[in-house]
A and B are shown apart, each in its own frame.
Chain A
Amino acid sequence: MVPTLAGRIQTRLFLLAVIGGLVTAALTPILPVDGPLGDRYQATFVVLAAVAVLGIGWELIYHFLMQWRWEKDWPTLFGLLTLVPEGIVVWLLATRDLVPGLPGPVPTEAFTIHFVLVWLAVWLVANGPMRVPFIHWRFRGGRLL
């Protein structure tokens, strides 16, 4: 799928909610963190929400960068590598208590496992399986609405 700006944002929000939500739900109980399960779920879903909200800003940046590409495309690899800057920013904010709603400190190891697995799942689904239920999606720059 070659994205438009609206398509980027919609796809991100949709996939983080559905795929990110499923991965988070399944993964949280086995993450290496202490504390009651309720708090752990609160922490992982708040991090997921932070990735979604900050992501809107990131998508604006990616869209701007894409304008320098003649094909106005966004190579598969870029969609994977952007994990690095996005992960670092969310981690910085979360560990400095700048993300509202976190029940306690965020351990780096658990954060990394959660973030990377959610990212990989979303990236994989966006690069193929997403086309199966939604036949219009790829021809509309990733828009679902």
Chain B
Amino acid sequence: MTLLDDSIHTRSAPADRPPLDRFDVWTDEMVDAAGIPLHDVPFVSVGGGMGSFVTVDYLRVAGGVPASDIRVLSNLSHPWQTYEHLTRVSQLPRQKRIRSDSASRPDNLWGFPSFAIQEAVARKSVKPLLQVLFEPVFADFYTPELDMVLKGIEREAHRIGYWDMLVQGEVRMVRRRAGGGYFTILENADGRTAFRSRDVHLAVGYAGLRFLPDMQAFRTKLNDFHHVVNGYEDHEHVYEVLRRRPGTVLVRGGGIVTSAVLERLITDRLKYGSQTQIVQLFRTYYDGRHGSHMWSRRPGRNGFAYQGFNYPKSAWGGQLKARMRRLEGSARAEVYDEIGGTTTAWRRHWQRNLAKARKGGWYHTVGGTIQDMRLDGDQMVARIQHAGGVNDLRVDYVIDCTGLDGDVSRHEVLKDLLQHSGATQNPLGRLDVERSFEVRGAGSGIGRVYATGAASFGGYFPGVDTFLGLQISAQEVMDDVARRGYCRRMGAGRSIAQWFKWANGRPV
């Protein structure tokens, strides 16, 4: 394909032609005739969140791709925007510690120096280093403070010229181009623009919040967004009301966000003397080690399944990663089943607070499901089905911490890709990708579409939706682009040189 220089062509659209959207494959003439301004760039990354950032960081630093050859198309103004929003509303302010470990550094593709080293130097303290030395057996996993992580990303974004690559707007679709490559349509205040590229990378995150059917029914039937909230949306009003008057909260889930919400409710009670009663509902209640084989037993207690990160640690580089990479179809689905499920981290201070709450008689756990929910005066009645039968529970609030919506058919761009560009879904319903994160079936001549992050879950690598997972995926993408001859490989010498540039904060 020919790549025009950065020029933009504008023509007015003739009224008598059928809209472009109806065609699966577009020619240059069709786009031209539709009057859509055209912009040429070899590599486009759609999303502009953490996945885009980490991928373009890899391409810039390791692949040696100039900023002028990359465009990030996004409705965000900075890559950590969605992440910071989600962490804040789910009770993780900047001074708290995130879930991932010391060497998961989205702002540094080597993971060295780790966050623990950085913190030790900044605070002039060996504590973070000792924690890494003793984790996870004699200490909790070291995890960095959110603030340090975000500042690092900001610094790295400046270093790689992120904002020179960013074009803000809403991406509508990606379509294959006759002759190879793709057109990506972006819409913003200036109207529509078509980006004509060789490759497209998709990192669009989640389609939205996930609500279990009963919650959804309650919210839509009664138009009530006050009593029933999702842990991933702003729900500060719940804590505010509970600090003013006694009440009962039903917390649903057993993951890391549940832990953060419980911690908030418990500390509000301990610190401000609120009189909140907490009931936690687990769909699956774990009370001990669980698993099918003596070599695969996960710890569990008081309802929770415990694990440092959202997958066993070896998913990001050890034997689990190596094993999954070789598995196909149902064998792979089986392993996903074995290692799947909601887990949270065992943290000593969380455990202490939970124990206090349990002892005080204001924190109870149940294993079961909600059959029905209705309003009764200013309260709600939740009908809970559990092992011992069915009970009605009167509560003031329900905080649902069961997650985000990863359904790819609910995302405009991904759905379009499935309908028009040959992409298919994997057994878990997400996009079917190769080991290189190329979307299967969506190739176009010399061009490729890559997908990383939540949309690629269910493939050869399970840890996709984490910082380290995004880096592993980015490395695969870069390796594939290099194999195809469109960027450089990074050998030991250049890697060391690039690392020194990073350490000195010099531009790539």
Given A1-B317, A71-B307, A73-B314, A131 contacting B132 (CB threshold 8 A): no
Indicate with 1 or 0, residue by residue over B47-72, a CB within 8 angstroms of chain A CB atoms.
Answer: 00000000000000010000000000
In the complex, whether A132 has a CB less than 8 A from a CB of chain B is yes
- Are A132 and B318 in contact, CB atoms less than 8 angstroms apart? no
Given A2-B318, A70-B297, A72-B320, A77 contacting B138 (CB threshold 8 A): yes
B residues in contact with A134, CB < 8 Å: 492, 495
Indicate with 1 or 0, residue by residue over A70-83, a CB within 8 angstroms of chain B CB atoms.
Answer: 11110111001000
In the complex, whether B260 has a CB less than 8 A from a CB of chain A is no
Q: How large is the interface on B (under 10, 10 to 19, 20 to 34, 35 or more residues)?
A: 35 or more
Q: Nearest chain B CB to A95's CB is how many angstroms away?
A: 31
Distance in angstroms between the alpha carbons of A80 and B130 in the assembled complex:
13
Stretch among A29-37, A49-57, A106-114, A136-144 lining the B interface: A136-144
Distance in angstroms between the alpha carbons of A72 and B103 in the assembled complex:
17
> Among A2, A5, A70, A128, which residue has its beta carbon within 8 angstroms of that of B291?
A70
> Among A2, A75, A129, which residue has its beta carbon within 8 angstroms of that of B314?
A2
Distance in angstroms between the alpha carbons of A136 and B111 in the assembled complex:
12
- Are A72 and B314 in contact, CB atoms less than 8 angstroms apart? yes
Distance in angstroms between the alpha carbons of A71 and B207 in the assembled complex:
30
Q: Which of A3, A77, A134 has the most CB of B within 10 A?
A: A77
- Are A71 and B313 in contact, CB atoms less than 8 angstroms apart? yes
Q: Nearest chain B CB to A8's CB is how many angstroms away?
A: 10
In the complex, whether B135 has a CB less than 8 A from a CB of chain A is yes
- Are A133 and B317 in contact, CB atoms less than 8 angstroms apart? no
Indicate with 1 or 0, residue by residue over A1-18, a CB within 8 angstroms of chain B CB atoms.
Answer: 111110000000000000
- Are A70 and B318 in contact, CB atoms less than 8 angstroms apart? no
Q: Nearest chain B CB to A67's CB is how many angstroms away?
A: 5
Q: How large is the interface on A (under 10, 10 to 19, 20 to 34, 35 or more residues)?
A: 20 to 34
Q: Nearest chain B CB to A78's CB is how many angstroms away?
A: 8
- Are B495 and A133 in contact, CB atoms less than 8 angstroms apart? yes
- Are B111 and A131 in contact, CB atoms less than 8 angstroms apart? yes
Distance in angstroms between the alpha carbons of A34 and B132 in the assembled complex:
40
Distance in angstroms between the alpha carbons of A129 and B117 in the assembled complex:
12
Q: Which of B110, B307, B495, B496 has the most CB of A within 10 A?
A: B110
Q: Nearest chain A CB to B283's CB is how many angstroms away?
A: 21
Distance in angstroms between the alpha carbons of A135 and B316 in the assembled complex:
14
Indicate with 1 or 0, residue by residue over A122-134, a CB within 8 angstroms of chain B CB atoms.
Answer: 0000001101111
Q: Nearest chain B CB to A11's CB is how many angstroms away?
A: 12
- Are A70 and B298 in contact, CB atoms less than 8 angstroms apart? yes
Given A71-B314, A138-B317, A128 contacting B134 (CB threshold 8 A): no
Q: Nearest chain B CB to A39's CB is how many angstroms away?
A: 35
- Are B313 and A139 in contact, CB atoms less than 8 angstroms apart? no
B residues in contact with A139, CB < 8 Å: 316-317, 321, 472, 475
Given A76-B135, A128-B114, A141 contacting B321 (CB threshold 8 A): yes
Q: Nearest chain B CB to A41's CB is how many angstroms away?
A: 28
Q: Interface residues of A: mostly helix, strand, loop or mixed?
A: loop
A residues in contact with B298, CB < 8 Å: 70
Interface residues of B in 106-128 (CB under 8 A from A): 109-114, 117
Given A1-B317, A70-B291, A132 contacting B112 (CB threshold 8 A): yes
In the complex, whether B322 has a CB less than 8 A from a CB of chain A is yes
A residues in contact with B109, CB < 8 Å: 135
> Among B299, B316, B475, B490, which residue has its beta carbon within 8 angstroms of that of A2?
B316
Q: Nearest chain A CB to B410's CB is how many angstroms away?
A: 31
Q: Nearest chain A CB to B499's CB is how many angstroms away?
A: 5
> Among A67, A68, A72, A133, which residue has its beta carbon within 8 angstroms of that of B492?
A133
Distance in angstroms between the alpha carbons of A73 and B320 in the assembled complex:
10
In the complex, whether B319 has a CB less than 8 A from a CB of chain A is yes
- Are A73 and B137 in contact, CB atoms less than 8 angstroms apart? no
Distance in angstroms between the alpha carbons of A18 and B210 in the assembled complex:
51
Indicate with 1 or 0, residue by residue over B473-492, a CB within 8 angstroms of chain A CB atoms.
Answer: 00100000000000000101
Given A71-B307, A134-B495, A128 contacting B317 (CB threshold 8 A): no
Indicate with 1 or 0, residue by residue over B122-151, a CB within 8 angstroms of chain A CB atoms.
Answer: 000000000011111110000000000000
Interface residues of B in 286-345 (CB under 8 A from A): 291, 294-299, 307-308, 312-314, 316-322
- Are A72 and B110 in contact, CB atoms less than 8 angstroms apart? no
Q: Nearest chain B CB to A145's CB is how many angstroms away?
A: 14
- Are A2 and B114 in contact, CB atoms less than 8 angstroms apart? no
Q: Nearest chain B CB to A17's CB is how many angstroms away?
A: 15
Q: Nearest chain B CB to A69's CB is how many angstroms away?
A: 9
- Are B133 and A80 in contact, CB atoms less than 8 angstroms apart? yes
- Are B321 and A128 in contact, CB atoms less than 8 angstroms apart? no
Distance in angstroms between the alpha carbons of A77 and B499 in the assembled complex:
27
> Among A3, A4, A70, A135, which residue has its beta carbon within 8 angstroms of that of B110?
A135
Binding site for A on B (CB under 8 A): 62, 103, 109-114, 117, 132-138, 291, 294-299, 307-308, 312-314, 316-322, 472, 475, 490, 492-493, 495-496, 499
22 A-B pairs with CB atoms under 8 Å apart are: A1-B317, A2-B313, A5-B319, A67-B295, A68-B294, A70-B297, A70-B298, A70-B307, A71-B307, A71-B313, A72-B312, A72-B313, A72-B314, A72-B320, A76-B135, A77-B137, A77-B138, A128-B113, A128-B114, A133-B493, A133-B495, A134-B495
Q: Would you list the 8 A-B pairs with minimal beta carbon distance, nearest first?
A: A2-B318, A72-B314, A133-B492, A71-B313, A73-B313, A71-B312, A67-B295, A2-B314
Beyond A128-B114, A128-B117, A133-B492, 5 extra complex contacts between A and B, CB < 8 Å = A77-B138, A133-B493, A135-B110, A135-B495, A139-B475
Binding site for B on A (CB under 8 A): 1-5, 67-68, 70-73, 75-77, 80, 128-129, 131-136, 138-141
